[in-house]
Amino acid sequence: MDDSSGLTERFEEHRSHLRAVSYRMLGSLAEAEDAVQEAWIRLNRSDISDVENLGGWLTTVVSRVCLNMLRSRDSRREDSIEAYPADPAVSREDTVDPEEEAVLADSVGLALLVVLDTLAPAERLAFVLHDLFAVPFDEIAPLLEKTPAATRQLASRARRRVKGAPLVPEADLSRQRSVVDAFLAATRGGSFDALVSLLHPDVVLRADQAVGPTPAPLLFSGAVTVAKGAMAAVQRAQSTQPALVNGVVGLAMAPLGRLFLVLNFTIEEGLITEIDVVAEPERLAELELAVLDA
């Protein structure tokens, strides 16, 4: 362990894991890389001669770093009510490849990243470490200066937020999901006829002014008109995933995991009769988003 090249090699063995933990904790690849780098610096400054589990030691270090970063971020949000939905700490220009981060965000789950961003720092740490990386509560508790039982409660509270509470029976939720999935697939694939087939002939779409540079909210009606509008959003659809929105199935558009807008659907007899596009920050903040099971 005294050999610097040997220590570097051992650290690199854990880098991908540390990066994965940090990204889910912070939701920003640039910040995750910063946290991993900080873990490397602390490793070099520490006497680890008696450390038996280097991976566990590094996970603890990077988790502490992430927790401090989250708490600092929360303080800035309290100072500025305009920090929602984009946080200055994670929207700065970085050397991180945007395409790489987009792929990573999609693999983790855009809806999950959005919901994680609504959790308190302690809840997020407890949930990420336990539910996503199977770290025991008795190992997480010291990081939060809480008992294992209290830490378990934090994770449980976070889990309820992440999973949400459907307002309709499972069978109805499944039917909603089928229609919404088909709508998203048709939009991503640019399949106009498939879109029209999912829409009621008299479908109505309402969209907040914030959706685009318009002087007033948008209102469209008719299957053909609404489908044409959806065709104009093919690129945006690539950063969109299904989510539970106020207890029913909707779509969350969240480039890099940053919530931009939400589509609420009214579905009757297998056809979409209404689409409400929510993009105003105040309205987005009032929505309860949760992750849909695959």
pLDDT single digits (tens) 50-67 = 999 999 999 999 999 999
Alpha-carbon separation of residue 245 from 115, 148, 167, 198, 249 (angstroms): 11, 32, 10, 20, 6
14: confidence class by pLDDT, cuts 50, 70, 90: very high
- Cα separation, 8 vs 151, whole angstroms: 33
pTM: 0.85
The reported pLDDT for the residue numbered 60 is 96
The reported pLDDT for the residue numbered 211 is 83
- For residue 134, the SS3 value is coil
The reported pLDDT for the residue numbered 174 is 94
Residues in CB range of 135: below 8 A, 6 or more apart: 59, 129
Nearest to 130 by CA among 107, 102, 158: 158
Q: Reply yes or no on whether the pLDDT at 84 is more than 70.
A: no
